[in-house]
Amino acid sequence: MSSARSAPPALLGLSTYLLSRIGKAARGRLADRLAERGLRLWDMAVLAALADFGPHAQRDLVVRLGVDPSDMAKVVEQLANGGYVERARDPEDRRRVSVTLAPAGRNLLTELDAEARSVQDDLLAPLSPEERAQLQGLLLRVHEGL
């Protein structure tokens, strides 16, 4: 018996409950895939932010992604040690660290995106391509309203 069938009907009538359960499942599955590579979701988030928006001051990544500054320092250090990002101190402000996506990081992000899309395809398998597109549009609208 699936967990959805054993959930109280009152909860199944709440979109927020369903979004939470689906989000938890998606996050867990993607986290498991990333863990096989010794990576975490924050690693992928940093790579994606750098790919989409270009080089960032480390403290700006903290704000953009909503990560604790000490956690961000660990993420950037791990990615730098793997050769996925490059760090440089700002000559005008030695406290400021600039983070840039390295070619190896761009290649890794391509692989991680494929993993994420595979997880997404598994989770959304019950939906037709048209329903998936509709869901994506609706979720974007809700996200923009946050």
pLDDT at 58 over 60: yes
Residue 104 lies in a domain: yes
Query: Count of CB atoms within 10 A of residue 46's CB?
Result: 28
Report the amino acid identity of residue 46.
V
pLDDT digits (tens, 9 = 90+) for 7-40: 899 999 999 999 999 999 999 999 999 999 999 9
CA distances from 65 to 71, 73, 93 (A): 11, 13, 23
**Residue 18 is assigned to a structural domain of this protein:** no
Residue 30 lies in a domain: no
Tell me the whole-structure pTM to 2 decimals: 0.87
Predicted confidence at residue 94, as pLDDT, reads 80
In a domain, 146, yes or no: no
Q: Is residue 55 part of a domain?
A: yes
Q: Is residue 132 part of a domain?
A: no
> Which residue segment(s) compose the domain that 53 sits in?
40-119
pLDDT value at 122 more than 60: yes
- 14 domain-assigned: no
In the chain, how many domains are there?
1
107: domain CATH number is: 1.10.10.10
- pLDDT given at position 44: 97
The H-assigned helical ranges of the chain are: 3-6, 9-12, 15-35, 41-53, 58-65, 69-81, 103-123, 129-144
Kindly state the tokens that stand for 110. Answer: 């391509």
Length of the chain counted residue by residue: 146
Is the pLDDT at 1 greater than 50? The verdict is no
Measured in degrees and rounded to the nearest 5, phi and psi for residue 41 equal -60, -35
pLDDT by residue (tens digit) across 87-100? Answer: 999 888 888 899 99
| Average pLDDT of the residues of the chain | 94
Domain contains 109: yes
- Name the burial class of residue 48, with classes exposed (0-12), middle (13-18) and buried (19+) by CB atoms within 10 angstroms of its CB: middle
